[in-house]
Structure 1
């Protein structure tokens, strides 16, 4: 099943220009990716915009991803001028690695400034990523206080702001950037199920049916265990109804509320209740 999703609010074109303008002010770019979908959650434009700027790739939400796959992704993503770390911004795991990695990436730039007789200053870092990848939570963790407005809805961060951390880092927050076209329908699907796209712009029922298909193919026992089903019918709409019936998601007349059932499956996948998965393979 192909799911076509297009979403490019006008403010995102403006955001790209803001990033390009601010890039000359920073020493290191922090790019946040969703550890479950490191390719699909990466904006192809960011590579073009950053050029040779030192980059720290942060695989966020690593607590929801397959840990072995995350290790493989870190190896694949690292190259000269690019470091990668896994992080869980909710628990703060991986946080201590950030200042160390930033210092290593900015060492050459800091040495140049020292050679010119400039006084030592904080390393200036720009935080980039698509909406809802956890940028605001990441900044709040790094700063140690509620520095930015956070929320579960994509696109909460509308403007740019500099934030001083307790360590030797200055952070420049940027609006989330998505690209104008998802060339691959699978990318749209993965962004939808992980929560990067507003639910108003895709059909929750269609997406949950496709997600169920993926889960049945990859971990059918988890579906049986979670929803107390002895058998999984190959008819996915019926399977969704079975799940809804098990959870008592009924409307008048005893019919299953398929919208609520679809929403349940989507939420439990996003929360990691149905297992830890990496959908993009290295």
Structure 2
């Protein structure tokens, strides 16, 4: 069915991000904003070559979106294993051979990459439906383990919906830039600009990181906020940076089980 496994896994990511499957019409569809002509050509050519199916291009009534239609019974049956056409839930029926390619596909559709103020920012967002768990697992496979996940209420889908936001720490964006080759022009240019710049700064984690770790430390001690700041030899907003340094040094870690934080023995919390 497909000739290149790398390209296939990239396209699976694209379809899971901005595509759908219509089993009753033997149709796989990919939606792309009409102004993104370069990306449209890229996906058109890559899809035709990889799926061995020449797509047709349709335009939504308001002209904002272009829809690629890949009509094939075999392809529809294959892709339906990866995305439920009614719920939007993803699945990975077998282990990805190239998680970096799959990540590039989902990031090109549901992700964000921007380089400004000498810093690369990489964010993934989607409705809170557990699909983000696949992203987290794939990131860890390619060597990215430092990120924050937050959930917010969002009205982008014309209704108030919980949305997950995964933000990669800047200290791991260098791995992202080197391993995950984006094809969406603006995002690709942001990553290339970061690589040309050559310096990747440690990310100062958001408030949820600080709150969770401070609560964890205080649960192990009887220290007040003031006493804890003294032990960390810092205060105010600098506490967050200090906690990030402890993380980078391996004294604080994040466990996969329940996505929770833990304090390592070399922190010697019992001596506080």
Is TM-score (shorter-chain normalized) higher than 0.5? Answer: no
Of structures 1 and 2, the one scoring higher in RCO (CA 8 A, sep 6+) is 1
Normalised TM-score (structure 1)? 0.31
